[in-house]
Structure 1
Amino acid sequence: MADSKREIARTYETTGAARLPDLTRVAGVASVVHRGAIALDAVHYDTEDLRLTAGSLALCQRTGGPDAGWHLTFTVAPDTRDDLRAPPSDTLPRSLARLLRSRVRDGALVPVVRLLGTRDVHHLNGADGTLLAEVSVDTVRAERPDGGGTTAAWTTIEAVLADDGDPALLDLVGRRLRRAGAHPSTAPSGLARALAATDPDRLPPNARAGGAPGPAAPADAGDHVLAYLRAQTEAIVALDPAVRRDLPDSVHRMRVATRRLRSALRTYRKILDRNVTDPVGDELKWLAAELGAGRDQEVLDARLRAALDDLPRTLALGPVRARLRIWSTARRRGSGARVLAALDGERYLALLDRLDALLAEPPLLPAASGAPGRALPRAVLKEYARLAARVDRARDLPPGHDRDLALHDVRKAAKRARYAAEAARPALGKPAERFAGRMKELQTLLGDHQDSVVARDALRDLAVRAHAAGETSFTWGLLHGREEATAAARERRLPEVWRRASRPKLRRAWEG
């Protein structure tokens, strides 16, 4: 796997021969050490239609200097980036190529611009010699890889915070630089600036100085639904590299985007032709299942560990933690590999292509051209009616297995109603926001109930295994009883939460 480094940095533009001001006047900086100049030579790669640049990614191979090799940079947040590095090679290393798959797919990566120049490096040190930040003056020339076309040259100053440094230092450094005549760069990146100078017509709008112009306001119901679908599709594509890097919560977030997308396709069948969207929904269901291979076990493990932590030590009899660890490891084995296998498969790429095609040529029905204030509430209220029917059915059942299954169905219906309202919120405003909030409250309550059901099954299995190994099963039985009490408490709260979720005035606000 490539080495990864997170950097917090700010870039400033200057004119003429740039000179750094005296940065020892910055609070906390005791000395500025000149580290010399480094030659810059980097060839940047992208697809012909600049998909990486449009997604705020940059891929280059640098020649010479201490950081020679392949660099893949992700913009994490304003002023924050992840730089993944791999050794020099004639071809892009597989460890980096996999991280680009959701965007590049079957396309080819080609050189798009070459940056040459020098980097004059200075270290800002504290009183004890600790590195606080690195400030460099970069003199850059951009040219087309084929040597033809327009060239451009500029000078920038970049301040990069040291590992574990205080970001407030960059504020102080920036203040000194601005007083010396520099100003914050308006270009999203050095690559974007180079492309703007050498091939401006090719640059994606969101990579231009000042960013892309805001999208046109949705005019009809179809516009609103498509905007929601587009946002969820982009979330899947953007989260793909994070899942492959095993970043915290990335699998969960990608799974949620997948479910939201599928839910919207099902809810808004009066707006989008289901003959086209149903097969896409089936593939989204498959992807969500693959992403959930390890996530559900992860949630269960956390619940059982927390339950053990909550017990008095005198009630944790036998090797319960070791038993839980062995049991959990066996159940989770291979789940991560399963997720990666799905993302590396052709079925996943085909799904992404189908989503792109659906957004490019949406199968809109006549209702799509209707006013959003009429078409969208009808779809959301239809989900509400389905939810209400499931609530009535669950409440008519006696406590037990069948009622647990029915309450799980209620939870899924509440989630679908919530997603429907979230998709409609830009058009319907506060009523949709309030409704989604109440659906989330109901979903959370019944989610805890369902987690308790799953935990009880797991605790029974652990008790059986412990007994077979000659261990006491007392602790597992005790936790089982606690989970039964938790589920009962959630069921007692259900009528109150449902009353809030089903207030008629919410419905009247939309139907009126």
Structure 2
Amino acid sequence: MADTKREIERKYESDESGLPDLTGVAGVAAVIDKGVAQLDATYYDTVDERLAASSLTLRRRTGGSDAGWHLKFPVGPGIRDEIQAPLSDELPRTLAGLVRSRVRDTELVPVVRLRSDRDVRDLVDADGRVLAEVSVDAVLAERLSGDGGTAQWTEIEVELADGVDPVFLDKVEKRLKKAGVRPSSSASKLQRALAETAPKKKRGQKTRVVRAPVTAGDHVLDYIRAQRDAIVELDPAVRRDVYDSVHRMRVATRRMRSAFKSYAKVLDRAVTDPIGEELKWLAGELGVDRDQEVLTERLTAAIDELPRTLLSGPVRTRLRTWSKARSGGSRRRLVNVLDGTRYLELLGTVDALVAGPPLLEAAGGQPETVIGKAVRKDFSRVSGLVEQALGLEPGHERDLALHEARKLAKRTRYSAESAVPALGDPAAGLVKSMKNLQNLLGDHQDSVMTREALRELARQAHAAGEPSFTYGLLYGREERRAAEDEAELPGLWAEIRSRAGSWTYGGPSRSR
């Protein structure tokens, strides 16, 4: 079993003078000495330090009040989520899963051992509430792999107590700076240990400089690389059931797959099409319950808006029963997918594509020309479908045409997104336009799906001898909502066409 804790802390350099007097910090009534703890932590990583490269730390620590396994994810400057698991000889499966997207099949090995004498003090207010824990850590670091060495230093660490306003850390820092204490140059003990105990031949090596994108291929690969990184980074959040993580990961798969289609003149489709099919599979697995959840939320909100006098029969119970019966998966099922060979092979295949891209001749072309042409082609296809839908009578055929237009609007939005670094404001404007179109057509499609669900609910209610009045009422409201969307579409489309004229008649000029 693992627990999650939000850690908000700041680190400072320390000399032999130790901890300055903090009784003058605003809000602090007393500084309570909690004694000295001996901590012994072994940090694990791959030989090529993949976790450290992502600012993740995985350790097994004894001593102190929280002995056990700790995995820390960066959230922001000085903020990390710490996943804790009980002390054991082997890495707990829960934590192993959370690093799998980065580690893959590579072995985790001990890389650094940190032994610290931690002199702890609590800062408390007048009511005895702990505001922060302040410690002076005397650290001995030992490299456990390669031919690295050892390092020693002393640092001050200030960790905010749960529920305390982070502004309090500013007050403590002001006092520390007044006493001559400087913020640490390292974000974590592990980061400093790796730097100071690295083999001598690696110390002082220059960081690889990332070349700015120049060609069309550079820009497309940057976009694909960003989606690959998003999938890898969101993997632990999906496993932890973090809000919106499944949706965001699903969007990253769609963006990459869309880029393969839009930039078929840049990347060889003989290579990207099979990857696209695997991305479609992953998106499907991620969406097993997502679409049902969205539909249920829409129906629940619609029911909540009705006066009680219009709720005829056990409507809420019927909705819960129906929704549960249609749910096709669970978080455990999704975690099994992420642990599976097929998913890990997909990640490896994308890595290989990024490392050795199957570039075509157009990849070496000017971004404004190659990328602009691809986006214009996507926009032209959207334009054709919207015009076709507007020419149809309301009904099933128009619904299908609008649904196809929505999918292409999404694809055009993604291709325009990828074009922003190369084309600037014109591409950014098209992103906004396509988002507005996508939202309108998305609401229309949601209405179509909601009406289908209401018909099914009404049939089930009738078969069970329950009133079906409320479902009919909600159906009528959804029908009106779809009609309003359709009535809004011509005006929105005319506005989009007016703004996006350059995407139809030649290439847009780049501006910022």
Which residue, 242, 248, 258 being the options, matches 2:243? 248
Distance 1:375 1:148, change over 3 A: closer
Q: What SS is found at the alignment partner of 2:289?
A: helix
TM-score (norm 2): 0.95
What is the identity, as a one-letter code, of the residue corresponding to 2:179?
A: A
Tell me, in whole angstroms, the C-alpha distance in 2 between the residues paired with 1:393 and 1:137: 70
Residue 419 of structure 1 corresponds to 414
Tell me, in whole angstroms, the C-alpha distance in 2 between the residues paired with 1:450 and 1:186: 52
For residues 172-203 of structure 1, the C-alpha deviation after alignment (integer angstroms, 9 at most, x for no partner) is 11111111222222223211110001116798
Q: Which runs of 5+ in 1 are unaligned?
A: none
The answer as to 2:265 corresponding to 1:266 is no
The answer as to 2:510 corresponding to 1:510 is no
TM-score (norm 1): 0.95
What is the identity, as a one-letter code, of the residue corresponding to 1:142?
A: A
Paired-residue identity, %: 59
What is the identity, as a one-letter code, of the residue corresponding to 2:119?
A: D
Tell me, in whole angstroms, the C-alpha distance in 2 between the residues paired with 1:309 and 1:216: 54
What is the identity, as a one-letter code, of the residue corresponding to 1:246?
A: D
What is the identity, as a one-letter code, of the residue corresponding to 2:37?
A: I
How far 1:317 sits from its partner (Å)? 2.0
Misfit runs of 4+, over 4 Å:
200-205, 211-214
How far 1:148 sits from its partner (Å)? 6.0
After superposition, where does 1:107-506 map in structure 2 within 5 Å?
A: 107-145=106-144, 149-199=148-198, 215-332=210-327, 334-503=329-498, 504-506=500-502
Residue 54 of structure 1 corresponds to 53
How far 1:472 sits from its partner (Å)? 1.1
For residues 410-429 of structure 1, the C-alpha deviation after alignment (integer angstroms, 9 at most, x for no partner) is 00000000000000100100
Residues 2 and 85 in structure 1, CA contact (< 8 A), matched pair in contact too: yes
What is the identity, as a one-letter code, of the residue corresponding to 1:8?
A: I
Distance 1:432 1:204, change over 3 A: farther
Residues 43 and 145 in structure 1, CA contact (< 8 A), matched pair in contact too: no
How far 1:120 sits from its partner (Å)? 1.1
Residue 4 of structure 1 corresponds to 4
Distance 1:147 1:420, change over 3 A: closer
Q: What SS is found at the alignment partner of 1:111?
A: strand
Tell me, in whole angstroms, the C-alpha distance in 2 between the residues paired with 1:482 and 1:438: 27
Distance 1:360 1:204, change over 3 A: farther
Residues 431 and 510 in structure 1, CA contact (< 8 A), matched pair in contact too: no
Q: Which moved more, 1:425-434 or 1:367-376?
A: 367-376
Q: Which moved more, 1:144-153 or 1:94-103?
A: 144-153
Q: What SS is found at the alignment partner of 1:40?
A: strand
What is the identity, as a one-letter code, of the residue corresponding to 1:357?
A: A
How far 1:147 sits from its partner (Å)? 10
How far 1:278 sits from its partner (Å)? 0.8
Residues 196 and 203 in structure 1, CA contact (< 8 A), matched pair in contact too: no
Tell me, in whole angstroms, the C-alpha distance in 2 between the residues paired with 1:182 and 1:337: 48
What is the identity, as a one-letter code, of the residue corresponding to 1:96?
A: L
Tell me, in whole angstroms, the C-alpha distance in 2 between the residues paired with 1:33 and 1:236: 45
Distance 1:131 1:506, change over 3 A: farther
Q: Which moved more, 1:324-333 or 1:450-459?
A: 324-333
How far 1:335 sits from its partner (Å)? 3.6
Tell me, in whole angstroms, the C-alpha distance in 1 between the residues paired with 2:330 and 2:4: 24
How far 1:140 sits from its partner (Å)? 0.7
Residues 411 and 447 in structure 1, CA contact (< 8 A), matched pair in contact too: yes
Q: What SS is found at the alignment partner of 1:230?
A: helix
Distance 1:386 1:202, change over 3 A: farther
Tell me, in whole angstroms, the C-alpha distance in 2 between the residues paired with 1:421 and 1:466: 46
Tell me, in whole angstroms, the C-alpha distance in 1 between the residues paired with 2:273 and 2:142: 48
Tell me, in whole angstroms, the C-alpha distance in 1 between the residues paired with 2:329 and 2:491: 42
Residue 85 of structure 2 corresponds to 86
How far 1:139 sits from its partner (Å)? 1.1
Q: Which moved more, 1:235-244 or 1:78-87?
A: 78-87
Q: Which moved more, 1:414-423 or 1:333-342?
A: 333-342
How far 1:397 sits from its partner (Å)? 2.2
For residues 206-229 of structure 1, the C-alpha deviation after alignment (integer angstroms, 9 at most, x for no partner) is xx9xx9677321111111111111
Q: What SS is found at the alignment partner of 1:156?
A: strand
Residues 58 and 72 in structure 1, CA contact (< 8 A), matched pair in contact too: yes
Over the aligned positions, Cα root-mean-square deviation in angstroms equals 1.9
Residues 74 and 81 in structure 1, CA contact (< 8 A), matched pair in contact too: yes
How far 1:64 sits from its partner (Å)? 2.3
Residues 147 and 199 in structure 2, CA contact (< 8 A), matched pair in contact too: no
Q: What SS is found at the alignment partner of 2:406?
A: helix
